Amino acid sequence: MAGDAPGGTFTMADGLTLARLGFGAMQLAGPGVWGPPKDRDEAIAVVRTAVELGVNHIDTADFYGPHVTNELLREALAPYGELRDELYVVTKVGAVRDEQGGWPHARSPRQLREQVESNLRTLGVDVLDVVNLRVGGGADGHSPVPGSLAEPFGALAELRQRGLIRHLGVSVVNAEQVREAQSIAPVVTVQNWYNVAHRGDEPLIASLAEQDISYVPFWPLGGFTPIQSATLETVAKDVGASPQAVALAWLLRQSPNVLPIPGTSSVAHLRENVAAAALDLPADALAALDGIGSGS
């Protein structure tokens, strides 16, 4: 890759070392994560620019579009040849899209097998690097929902044994569900909602760090109150950066196993996000940001 790994690197498993700042591909699809992008050339350019800037961790799902994001990634990554072996695409299963654009669960063994096969086909690969089982959703669409994941995660473990998947992870889960998954097969990553204003997963992050398991936070600006947003904007203005960049810089300073995956459909915005990996947050800025999440 042309650039240094933004944010440094984290090794999830043997042969799986990722830049700590990744790229979430969800926004490459059309509005509502449905249909083709407004500007296909720009979407392709975003992916290729990310690679040129040192990003080798791309997060996707075949239900983005549906199929649209994976097919864009296949096209965008095709020219990289041997370098493709150093680019890791992490996908998710456990949901599909309905005709209204909803995200209903789809976690039976048959449904998961179909989703894995569809991801293989739309990405144009013979094996998936990492597959996350998306478990929760909740009223807000982003929170864990209690319940066993033995059957669906067991089904993915079988597909891993068959050689269709290299590594497994879980998404939108609680600590108990992580432990249950670990009792079935190795877990290399957990993907949940966590940011400067939403910090309920801090004990889980610490536990995963002790086990050398990555934690991938999504929605860096989600769930802020107006007061919290105002504080973030003030800090951003003081350090001469965007609120998104400040939020990402804060995430990267929380723990070495935290690997944010900000998404965008704009090359300019992508460059701002990657630059956040080098953003210096002075002590007073960090104190103000830490105050945002007090009691959360």
Catalytic machinery residues: 64
| Contact criterion met (CB below 8 Å) for 134 and 93 | yes
Task: Measure the CA–CA gap between 131 and 158, rounded to whole angstroms.
Answer: 13
How far apart, in Å, are the Cα atoms of 157 and each of 28, 150, 272, 279?
29, 10, 38, 39
- Dmax (CA) for the chain in angstroms is 53
Q: How far is the C-alpha of 223 from the C-alpha of 221, rounded, in Å?
A: 7
Two tokens at 277?
């990996």
For residue 254, which amino acid is it?
Q
CA 192 – CA 201 distance, rounded (Å): 8
Structure token pair of residue 187: 């877990």
